[in-house]
Amino acid sequence: MTDPVGKIPSELDQLPDRDTEETAEWAASLDAVTKAAGPHRAAYLMRRTLQHAEGAGLALPKLLETDYVNTIPTSAEPSISEFGGDEEMERKITAWNRWNAAAMVTRGSKHGVGGHIATFASAAWLYETGFNHFFKGKEADGSGDQLYIQGHASPGIYARAFLDGRLNEAHLDNFRQEAGGNGLPSYPHPRRLPWLWEFPTVSMGLGPLSAIYQARFNRYLTNRSIKDVSASHVWAFLGDGEMDEPESTAALALAAREGLDNLTFVINCNLQRLDGPVRANFKIVQELEAQFRGAGWNVVKSLWGNAWDELFALDTTGALVRRLREVPDAQVQTYQTRDAAYIRQDFFGKDPALVAMAQLLSDDKILECFHLSRGGHEPRKVYAAYKAALEFKGAPTVILAQTVKGFTLGEGFASKNANHQMKKLTTDEFKNMRDLLELPISDAQFVDGQVPYGHPGADSPEVRYLQERRAALGGPAPARRTHPLAPLPAPADKAFAAFDKGSGSQSMATTMAFVRLMKDLIRDKETGKRWVPIVPDEARTFGMESLFPSLGIYSPKGQTYEPVDRDQLMYYKEAVNGQILNEGITEAGSMADFIAASTAYSTHGEAMIPFYIFYSMFGWQRTADQMWQLGDQLGRGFLVGATAGRTTLTGEGLQHADGHSPVIAATNPAALTYDPAFAYEVAVIVKEGLRRMYGEAAEGEDQNVFYYLTVYNEPMPQPAKPSGIDEGIVKGLYRFNTAESAGLDLPANASRIQLLSSGTAIHWALEAQRLLAAEWGVGADVWSATSWTELRRDALEADAALLRGEEQVPYVRKALEGIESPVLAVSDYMRQVPDQIAQWVEQDWSSLGADGFGLSDTRDAARRHFGVDAQSIVVAALAQLARRGEVPASAVKEARERYGL
């Protein structure tokens, strides 16, 4: 009798066995089955036993991988009556959509604009079954389901919109030709086609990540009683190759941990990435199954079509299942393109049992199985998988649907490595496709060799059926709706005016000023509940711990433990209706939160005001792609780069020292980037942002923007707010003081310079202003440049207006009008940040910045290292004045020596 635990040490060895004899009997039984019926029979019995135990509710670890067969057997699929649709009618609809998707891309290829055909060809039934039976539209509750469409499948979605009358032939002929204003964007781009697309997905990996956080945000809205969206389901359509992107699987554990059964991933496993097989020597379906099961997801595999049922029925030894498990994906792809003789030899010829099975199969049967019959190509199997996903409770579901890339497009396309880059079919290939799909398109309709679009007619049975199915499900899909929301009432001025008097003798960092402002705004009776505070980690770094007990941290499980800091005033509090999204160490996840919240005004008809506060170095640097996604999805809210600047986060060093985030932010047209110096500036910018994004926007003003504020962790005295500067704060520049208003003594006819500074650099400029007056007899005026980027954009617009024949002067030029003295600009960022506006400044221009890599040291030492401290500003100012002959050249050398530069 074999030792029940074998020779390998087991974790079970440390647990008491109350009946070793019984344990030995079980092991002996398994040994007996193995000896009498073989190891495969023994493994089958063990799996059946584990499956039975799971069904009985026994707490056992799950197997991470099952056989390479369908999860739902044919016998468990819905009957015709349960299916509830007309399969033949749906076949015709899908055929029209396949045709028009291929025709649209092919017709566009003559313009050289490209397009993708093979992806939708493989996934057509995955979409059509959902549109006909599952995907809820917005007309019932304003929310419906949220559909993350695979980017390269967009031609198929356009083809369906053409069939149901939402698009016409002119639209299709303008695929990827948008400059004229009547075109269709290449992929799902809400900013370009805002009535159709909700979610941008073609930057692969962002779709699955966003879908998870969208499903979670739906729960957040429901649990916080903002809106009950428990009927909404999130569907994410993904490619098997896309799952290699780290973002694709970054949040799988979150979805399982929070039991997001309102979420389904549909992964189109056509075994090909953009160029070649996904797992040439392995099996991507099995890999994904193990990955998702290990993360706690429900997995449904839909791999084989009905033609395979006969083969599985003949597999009395398990040889077929074993062979399917061992054949690598690239070889499965090869079978799809080879004849029956090759398949007989290479697939069946490896095992005597399979040789015998193949003798019972005709060549036609073998070709049907290996060329055509896939689970993702049969609507009844797709329906069964979707139904199982919706019925499963307690965890999200992933459907792994096997398909053939380029299916129905002919031998030149199907399963070929190059098909992602193939943009057109020949006339003969289209005619073969027409015959295969049984479409009533005559040869005469191919005029001058151009493929025609096909449409059965607006009142045809196909179109009526399609529209009736969509009406029953709540209207067209996909569809984006911007609900006619009333502007949110502006919070009381008291919250914004709190900083007008300054901080007196106390010092305050602008990060803390922002958090204090948020505390007051969240207390607002009208709009307070709509704020969504998001923090990736280290909330205490940003001074947000005081929000924990008052707002609560969102958790669908509430707080199932006694917090270790329960006796402290600012204890850690989690709640089902918590308002704070405290995400842990994930900028990508926090950004996905922000996107879901910032677009709730459209997705659910509920305006939410997210603010996401993060280390500025770790925001745009890590997740700039998601910021583009945010802009494309027309999101609104406040991104806050805290502990900002290259020299301000003392001691942390290179990887924490942000000297460039405003440069990256400046590249995003939807981002309004501000670098406020003082607490009152923060208040003015936030007030303006609330008005523009959520209140009464001015005529022609784009509300679909978001704000990026850089704030600092260096406590400094906060001055009182001067009068009449709000416009300058918003536009990007105002004069904070002059040498005279600062009370500095100057000689008559003193040379003068203008110091433009942003953020924390204004404090160095103010010290330089004092030194220039006291030690060099030079007068300096100090300006606060709250937004170099907005100044540049205003100037660019002025330039464009001049080319249109309109007279327009850039704001920065008007602000500095009449000033003859030179300008010196400085910030805690690389010189490229202030240099954005140099070409529009008529005065002599020079700048200082913290270019290069960051380093660990004190703030003073770092600023001296980068040449941006007050003394460095003084030397640069003297040098600029010396070049103009306004101070002796010797003064520059003397200053360098005096300050040790």
Q: Which residue has the tokens 């208040």?
A: 683
Structure confidence at residue 423 (pLDDT): 62
Q: Per-residue pLDDT averaged across 771-775, rounded?
A: 97
Q: What integer pLDDT is reported at residue 674 of this predicted model?
A: 98
Work out the average pLDDT over 493-509. 93
Kind and range of the H or E run holding 95: helix 87-108
The full DSSP string for 226-250 is: S---TT--EEEEEETGGGGSGGGGT
Q: Which residue has the higher pLDDT, 6 or 446?
A: 446
387 Cα distance to chain centroid: 27
- Tell the residue number behind the tokens 């309102």, with chain if given: 262
User: In the chain, pLDDT over 90 holds for what percent of residues?
Assistant: 80
Q: From CA 329, how far away is CA 345, in angstroms rounded?
A: 18
CA distance 338 to 344: 10
Confidence of residue 52 (pLDDT cuts 50, 70, 90): confident
pLDDT value at residue 16: 77
Six token digits for residue 261 = 């059964």
Rg of the chain's alpha carbons, rounded to an integer? Answer: 33
Helices and strands, counts by H and E, the chain: 34, 20
Q: Are 377 and 407 in contact (CB under 8 A)?
A: yes
Q: At what angle do helices 87-108 and 427-437 cross, to 10 degrees?
A: 170
Distance CA 52, CA 34 (A): 20
Write out pLDDT tens, residues 619-656. Answer: 998 999 999 999 999 999 999 999 999 999 877 888 88
Binned at pLDDT 50, 70 and 90, residue 8 comes out as: low
Helix axes 889-899, 761-776, angle to 10 degrees: 120
pLDDT of residue 541: 81
- Residues in a beta bridge with 755: 782, 824
Q: What is the DSSP string of 493-535?
A: HHHHHTTTT--TT-EE-HHHHHHHHHHHHHT-TTTGGGEEEEE
Q: pLDDT by residue (tens digit) across 291-308?
A: 999 999 999 999 999 999
On the CB side of 60, CA atoms within 13 Å amount to: 15
Cα dihedral across residues 67, 69, 70, 76: positive or negative? negative
| Contact of 596 with 568, CB cutoff 8 Å | no
- Does the model's pTM come out above 0.75? yes
Buried b (16+ CB within 10 A) or exposed e, 604-632: bbbbbbbbbbbbbbbbbebbbebbbbbbb
Task: Considering only residues 82 and 200, tell me which one the structure prediction assigns the higher pLDDT.
Answer: 200
Q: End-to-end alpha-carbon separation of the chain, Å? A: 85
**pLDDT number for residue 84:** 85
Q: Beta partners for 140? A: none
Q: What is the mean pLDDT of the chain?
A: 93
593 with 553: CB under 8 angstroms? no
**pLDDT category of residue 778 using cuts at 50, 70 and 90:** very high
3-state secondary structure of 887: coil
Nearest to 129 by CA among 514, 314, 386: 386
Residue 444: DSSP 8-state: G
The torsion angles phi and psi of 756, rounded to 5 degrees, stand at -95, 125
Using 50, 70 and 90 to split pLDDT, how confident is the model at 888?
very high
Report the alpha-carbon distance of residue 457 to residue 405 in Å, rounded: 29
pLDDT given for residue 2 in this prediction: 44
* Residue 6 token pair: 């074998």
Determine the average pLDDT of the residues in 81-110: 93
Mode of pairing for the β-strands spanning 752-757 and 531-535: unpaired
The DSSP line for 610-633 is EEEEEEGGGTHHHHHHHHHHHHHT
Closest by CA to 639, choosing from 622, 659, 620, 653, is: 620
Per residue, the 3-state secondary structure of 751-762, as one string, reads CEEEEEECCCHH
Residue 7 is predicted with a pLDDT of 54
- The answer to whether the Cα torsion of 162, 166, 171, 177 is positive or negative is negative
pLDDT tens-digit map of 102-159: 999 999 988 888 888 889 999 999 999 999 999 999 998 999 999 999 999 999 999 9
CA distances from 621 to 625, 627, 656 (A): 9, 10, 11
Is the separation of the CB atoms in 661 and 620 below 8 Å?
yes
Separation CA 34–CA 289 (nearest Å): 27
> For residue 5, what pLDDT is reported?
42
Q: Nearest CA to 244 among 300, 282, 213, 188?
A: 282
Burial level of 789, CB count in 10 A (0-12/13-18/19+)? buried
Other C-beta atoms lying within 10 Å of the C-beta of residue 849: 22
Residue bearing the bigger pLDDT, 464 or 62: 464
Per-state percent for the chain, helix, strand, coil, to nearest 5: 45, 10, 45
Q: Is the pLDDT of residue 61 over 80?
A: no
Residue at token pair 């209706």: 577
What 3-state class would DSSP assign to 374?
strand
- Percentage of the chain beyond pLDDT 70 is 97
Average pLDDT over residues 86-96: 96
- Tens of pLDDT, residue by residue over 578-589, are 999 999 899 999
How many CB atoms are located within 10 Å of the residue 450 CB? 12
Instruction: Tell me what the mean pLDDT of segment 735-751 comes to.
Output: 95
Determine the pLDDT at residue 890.
96
Report how far residue 279's alpha carbon sits from residue 240's, in angstroms, rounded to the nearest whole number: 10
- 830-870 pLDDT, tens per residue? 999 999 999 999 999 999 999 999 999 999 999 999 999 99
Give the CA dihedral 579, 580, 584, 586, nearest 10 degrees: 100
Backbone phi and psi for residue 523, each to the nearest 5 degrees, phi listed first: -80, -10
Least confident of 492-496, 537-541, 551-555, 806-810: 537-541
138 burial level (CB within 10 Å; 0-12, 13-18, 19+): buried
- For residues 590 and 577, give the distance between their C-alpha atoms in angstroms, rounded to a whole number: 18
Alpha-carbon distance of 91 to 529, in angstroms, equals: 48
Cα maximum dimension of the chain? 111
The residues facing 710 across adjacent strands are: 641
Residue with tokens 């002796």: 888
Return the closest-CA partner of residue 278 out of 243, 250, 248.
243
Whose tokens are 């920065």? That residue is 812
In one-letter notation, the amino acid at residue 82 is E
Contact 72, 385 (CB under 8 A): yes
Neighbouring CB atoms inside 10 A of 512's CB total 21
- Return the pLDDT at 6: 43
State the average pLDDT over residues 422-440: 89
Closest CA to 122 of 292, 311, 285, 268: 268
Q: Cα–Cα distances in Å, from 225 out to 219, 573, 578, 863?
A: 10, 19, 11, 49
